[in-house]
Amino acid sequence: MNSLSPTRLPWDQRQRLMLLEARVIWDGLIRAGDLRDAFDISTRKAEKDIALYRARCPDNLDLDVATGVYRASDRFEPAFLRGSAEEWLSVLRHHDLAQDLPLAMAAAGHVPAEILELPQREFDVRVLQRLGTAIREQRWLSIEYQSMNRPDPRALQIAPHSLAYVGRWHARAYSLEHQGFRDFLLSRIIGLPGLGDSAGIDSAQDWDWRNHVTVRVGPHPGLTEPQRRVVEHDFGMHHGTLEKHLRLALVPYWLKLMNVGRGDIERHAAEQQIVLLNQAELDAFNRLG
C-alpha cells in the first residue's frame, strides 16, 4: 500500500477526494471551484487536492487546458469509491439522511428521483440499545414478545448474539422458553427489555447460524433466449447462475425476498423469471419448510 492510498490520507482530505471522484463519476468532470465551494477551502487547497488525486490516479483525469476543467478519461477507474450503480441509488434513496456525505453532496439536485418503498417497521431505539448491551456482554434479556402464532404477548428470556436485517430487523437469540435458537423481530418486542445476568450462551452453539449453504438461482427455463439474457444481466448472474452464500438461518428470508422456492417452474415464465436451482439441497437442510 503506497503513501497515497486512501487509508493513509487524513480523514478530511479523503472526504474531499471522495467528492472529487464522485463528481467525476456523476458529471464526468471536476473543477477546483467544486471542491472549494463544497468544503469552504481555498482555491489553492482545492488545486492541491486535484493534483494529489492525479498523482494517485494518473489515468483518471484529462485536463482541458482552455477551460481548466478536468474530465474523466476513457481509462477512468474508481479508487476512492466502488463506482457501482447501487452505491449511487442508495444515496438517492437516503439523501435526506446523508446530505453531508461526499456522495450525497455530489448527487444533490442533479437527478430527479422518486422512491417507493415498503414502510419501515418502527421500534423503540432503546430496544436496540438493550439488545446491543446483551449481545456484547452475553446477558439474558427479558422481553414481552407479540408473536403472530399467539393472540397475546408472551414473556420470554432470550440470549441474543447477533442482529440481522432481512427487509426487517430481527435478533438471533437463544430462547429459554423454546429451548433453542429463534429469530425475534425488533418491531414486535413490546416495552423496554430488562437486562439480566450472564447467559453463557455462545453463538457457536447456534448450528443454523454457524453453518452456511450456497443458494443457486437461474432464469426460468421457459424464457426465450433474449429474455434469458436480460434476466441474467438484471440479477448479475454468471454463466446463467446467481450464487448466494448464506447462513442457514437466513436462507428462508432470502428466498422470500427473491420470491423463489417450491413450484417456481410451474409458474408462468414471464412472471416468475427466476427459479431456485438447488431445491433438493435446501430441503435436506429443512430450509424450505
In whole angstroms, give the CA distance from residue 140 to residue 187. Answer: 19
The packing angle between helices 32-39 and 11-27, to 10°, is 130
Give the separation between CA 135 and CA 153, rounded to whole angstroms: 23
- For the chain, report the end-to-end CA distance as a whole number of angstroms: 48
Q: At what angle do helices 43-56 and 32-39 cross, to 10 degrees?
A: 120
Digit-coded pLDDT (tens) for 87-135: 666 655 554 444 445 555 555 555 565 666 667 777 777 888 889 889 9
Q: What was the pLDDT predicted at 86?
A: 65
Quick: pLDDT tens for 208-232: 999 999 999 999 999 999 999 999 9
- For residue 48, is pLDDT > 80? yes
Q: pLDDT averaged over the chain?
A: 86
Strands 29-30 and 69-72: antiparallel
Q: Looking at domain 128-203, does it have CATH number 1.10.3470?
A: no
The DSSP output letter for 241 is B
Cβ(39)–Cβ(20) under 8 Å? Answer: no
Say what the pLDDT of residue 1 is: 36
Least confident of 36-50, 64-78, 97-111, 145-159: 97-111
Q: Exposed, middle or buried, 150 (CB in 10 Å: 0-12/13-18/19+)?
A: exposed
pLDDT score, position 98: 43
Q: What is the residue type of 66?
A: A
The ranges assigned to domains in the chain are: 6-107, 128-203, 211-284
- 279 or 128, higher pLDDT: 279
Asked, colleague to colleague, whether 6-107 and 128-203 share their fold, the answer is no
Say whether pLDDT at 255 is over 80: yes
Strand, helix or coil for residue 179: coil
pLDDT digits (tens, 9 = 90+) for 135-167: 999 999 999 999 999 999 999 999 999 999 888
Query: How many angstroms separate the CA atoms of 281 and 184, rounded?
Result: 26
Q: Which is higher by pLDDT, 100 or 13?
A: 13
CATH, domain range 6-107: 1.10.10
Convert the pLDDT of each residue in 231-240 to its tens digit: 999 999 999 9
Report the sign of the C-alpha dihedral through residues 112, 35, 4, 77, in that order: positive
Q: Cell for 39?
A: 468544503
The whole-number pLDDT of residue 6 equals 58
- Residue type for 120, please? Q
Q: pLDDT band at residue 2, thresholds of 50, 70 and 90?
A: very low
